Structure 1
Amino acid sequence: MEVLYPHCAGLDVHKDMVVACLRHVVDGTIKREVRTVKTTTKALLDLSQWLASEGCTHIVMEATGVYWKPVWHILEDGDFDLALANAAHVKTVPGRKTDVNDATWLADLLAHGLVRGSFVPNAQTQEMRGLLRTRKQLVRERTSHVQRLQKTLEDANIKLDSVISDVMGLSGRTMIEALIAGETDPNTLAALAHRRIRAPAEELCEALRGRVTKHHRFLLRLHLQQIDIFDAAIVAIDQEVDANVEPFRAAITILTTIPGVSDLSARTIVAEIGTDMSRFPTDGHLISWAGLCPRNDESAGKRRSNRMRKGAPWLKTTLIQCAWSATRKKASYLQAQFHRLRARRGAKKAIAAVAASILTAIYHMLT
């Protein structure tokens, strides 16, 4: 097999060490040199200097959790062509797995051009991605605390979520704070409701008639404090995103013209795929990378599975949410597409197709 990169290296990255295999082809003879270094900044800088001094031009490493990132960032400053390999695509022969063998195998694959590098956005996009992923995690954790608060109210037989739509809204929060302060009279609590609450006063009073103990008040106070902490953290992240969003402003503005894509969704999408679509040869490549199309699983002329790949879960969940919003946009192509496909294929496949259509539009709008 033809050797495309005679001077290359494969890195087997771990939390505390990196096993590097430098592969040379000299006068038709393959020479390998293996070194094991720590993952401290000084050790990685020394590794970069050693690889550069040996004439290494291409480096490949597996995507191992978050451990590959500091290695990538340091080597990125050198004059190397870096590739991040999906571990599922570069498995070696079973029963022969060692750190040295893994690094050697990666170097051999790279030398023959058999490694397809994963998409790694630029540093600015990675920072935006980190902020918005953290925001989504905080929103999920906040939701968990709201659910725990509702569970505590149910334990006290306070049926607040049965009569108002948002327990953490203005009226709900005011009533909960009154309960924590020791108020137990249902009429007094019901009087705190905003006039826009649709539930009748009698129904509201009945829902607020419970048995709230000192134990319940302690838990309610604790959950409210945690929710406030998450609210403050989400606001801080939003401010940081606003301060760094200017390079992506034009792309975000364009994407919000798509039905179902809000400003926050557009920011999340741009943070996941960037604004340079040259990394994806066609819209089909982008859809496949996102995991919004069936995987290839065929044997003897028969397709064995139509399940979608895992793809990029952060991007996929955002696109699915956008797709559901788009289906509620009256007289739109995406709504018509969803109803047409749902009748034949079911709601799950239909909504995935709508999400793929949204991503196709995004690809061509950013190209």
Structure 2
Amino acid sequence: MEVIHSRCAGLDVHKQTVVACVRIAGDGPPLQEVRTFATTTSALLSLCDWLDSFQVEVVAMEATGVYWKPVWHVLEGHFELVLANAAHVKNVPGRKTDVNDSMWLADLLAHGLIRASFVPPVAVQELRTLTRTRKQLVRERSAHAQRIEKVLEDANLKLSVVLSDILGKSARAVLQAIIDGQDDPQHLISCIGRVKASRAELLEALRGRVSTHHRFMLKLHLSHIDALDQAIAAIEKEVGLGLEPFRQAAKLLSTMPGLSAVSAHVIVAEIGIDMSRFATPGHLLSWACLCPRNDESAGKRRSTRLRRGGQWLKTTLVQAAWSAVRVKGGYLQAQFHRLRARRGAKKAIIAVAASMLTAAWHMLRDGTEWHDLGAAHFDRADAHKTANRLIRRLQQIGYAVQLTPAG
């Protein structure tokens, strides 16, 4: 097999150690040197000097948790780095040792058999950390809201029946009054503003059996929610103060239906702003796991299910797609209804999410805003097929149709 990289190295990265294998190809059998380093900063600098002493050009490592990141940061700028998906470079079963893993990575890299993972620049990585942390905090806030609902049900207070938002202004006032020791429904009603429920319904919903334990738990969960709200606000402020290219890119993506400022920042954080890393929109869709998998054998297509992965980007795009298909008279809504009739809502919404990511690739590459093709785009694109479909529909309900071209 042809050797692509004559001087390369493979790193088997762990929390406390890094096993490095240098592979140098020559006329005879390749020379392989293996050495183990600690993961402290001084030890990683020694690793960099050791690799440089062999005039190594390319270094490969597996994406093992977060342990690869400090190694990457130390070696970046000195060598061409390749980050490998651990599932794609598994060794032969029964030969699993740290030394063998590093030698296996070096062999794969030498013959060009490692597909490099996308590693964005440091600024994009920092933005990605902020957006992902925000999403995790929002999930924790929702979990505490559900725990408050559980406490209220245990006290037989049906607050969520009469109020749509259990953490809204009126609901918070009621919860604070309960924490302060109030349990009289007449007094609790005075904390509620204008709602659809009648006074009798409010009285019945707020008549429960509140104990000291319930008040303690409500106070505990509300304090956590307040702390999470402050943390989320701080993250949003930090994201808003980001670098100018990221703000401009997020503002550009926000012109697309269904994408809020938060969703736009998530997309920028996940894919970056340099679209030259993805040769075509199809490459980006494949990386985001938003296209059907290739699973064919004996000439038969066995499965078209989406590959697992892309949890941060995929979930955001699907949520944005559900918002986009509610915009009346738009291309995305027309695409959704067109596909839902044949393939179902789930596959249709994935197709809309893929279309939005494709549009994002073009918008970031060209620096252009969203241009909606309109709901009639599909009819204009294939007028003959549309006419035949309408004729068949009229014939099914008992009409004889004869077409006459317009003058």
Q: Which residue of 2 aligns with 1:69?
A: 69
Residue 257 (structure 1) shift: 1.0
2:173 paired residue number: 174
Please report the TM-score for the alignment, with normalisation by the length of structure 2: 0.88
CA–CA separation in structure 1 for the residues paired with 2:107 and 2:179: 66
Confirm or deny: 8 A CA contact 2:6 2:23 kept in the other structure.
yes
C-alpha separation in 2, matches of 1:37 and 1:305: 44
Distance 2:178 2:31 in 1: 75
**Alpha-carbon shift at residue 49 of structure 1 (Å):** 1.1
Which of 314, 324, 327 is 2:325 aligned to?
327
Structure 1: which amino acid aligns with 2:169?
L
| Structure 1 equivalent of residue 246 of structure 2 | 248
Match of residue 280 from structure 1: 278
Alpha-carbon separation, structure 2, partners of 1:143 and 1:10: 43
The residue aligned with 1:233 is 231
1:204-253 alpha-carbon deviations (Å, 9 max, x no partner): 12111110011100111111111111111111111111122423122111
Partner of 2:142: 143
SS in 2 for 1:61: strand
CA distance in 1, matches of 2:62, 2:120: 16
1:37 aligned onto 2:43: no
Match of 1:263 in 2: 261
Looking at structure 2, the residues matched to 334 and 245 of structure 1 have their Cα atoms a distance apart, in angstroms, of 31
The one-letter code matched in structure 1 to 2:40 is T
Q: What residue number does 1:194 align with?
A: 193
Q: Alpha-carbon deviations, 1:138-179, whole Å to 9, x = none? A: 100111011001100010000001111111011000000001
Once the two structures are TM-superposed, the CA of residue 91 in structure 1 deviates from its matched residue by 1.3
Identity %: 65
Conserved? CA contact 2:317–2:353, under 8 Å = yes
What does residue 110 of structure 1 align with? 109
Partner of 1:224: 222
Tell me what 1:184 maps to: 183
- Unaligned runs of 5+ residues in structure 2 are 366-407
Residues 155 and 211 of structure 2 are in contact (CA less than 8 Å); yes or no, is this contact kept in structure 1? Answer: yes
Q: Distance in 1 between matches of 2:282 and 2:106?
A: 29
For the residue of structure 1 that corresponds to 2:30, the secondary structure is strand
Identify the residue that residue 390 of structure 2 maps to in structure 1: none
Q: Using the TM superposition, name which of 33-42 and 198-207 deviates more.
A: 198-207
Say if 1:131 and 1:241, in contact at 8 Å, map to a contact too: yes
**Shift of residue 77 of structure 1?**
3.5
Q: 291, 294, 302: which one pairs with 2:292? A: 294
Cα deviation code 1:180-221 (max 9, x no counterpart): 1111111110111123x2222221121111100111001111
Contact kept? 2:4, 2:111, Cα under 8 Å: yes
SS of alignment partner, residue 308 of structure 1: coil
1:86-105 alignment runs, 5 A limit: 86-105=85-104
Q: How far apart are the structure 2 equivalents of 1:29 and 1:299?
A: 38
| Separation of aligned partners in 2, 1:131 and 1:331 | 35
Shift of residue 26 of structure 1?
3.0
Equivalent pairs, count: 365
Contact 1:8 1:58 in 2 (8 A): yes
In the TM superposition, residue 111 of structure 1 has moved relative to its aligned partner by 0.7
How far apart are the structure 1 equivalents of 2:141 and 2:344? 32
Shift of 1:100: 0.8
Equivalent-residue separation in structure 2 for 1:189 and 1:339 (angstroms): 46
Contact 1:8 1:57 (8 Å CA) reproduced? yes
Q: Does 1:213 align with 2:220?
A: no
User: Which residue identity does 1:116 align to in structure 2?
Assistant: R
Secondary structure at 1:29's aligned position in 2?
Answer: coil
Instruction: Look up the equivalent residue of 1:312 and give its one-letter code.
Output: G
The residue that corresponds to 2:404 in the other structure is none
Q: Larger radius of gyration, structure 1 or 2?
A: 2
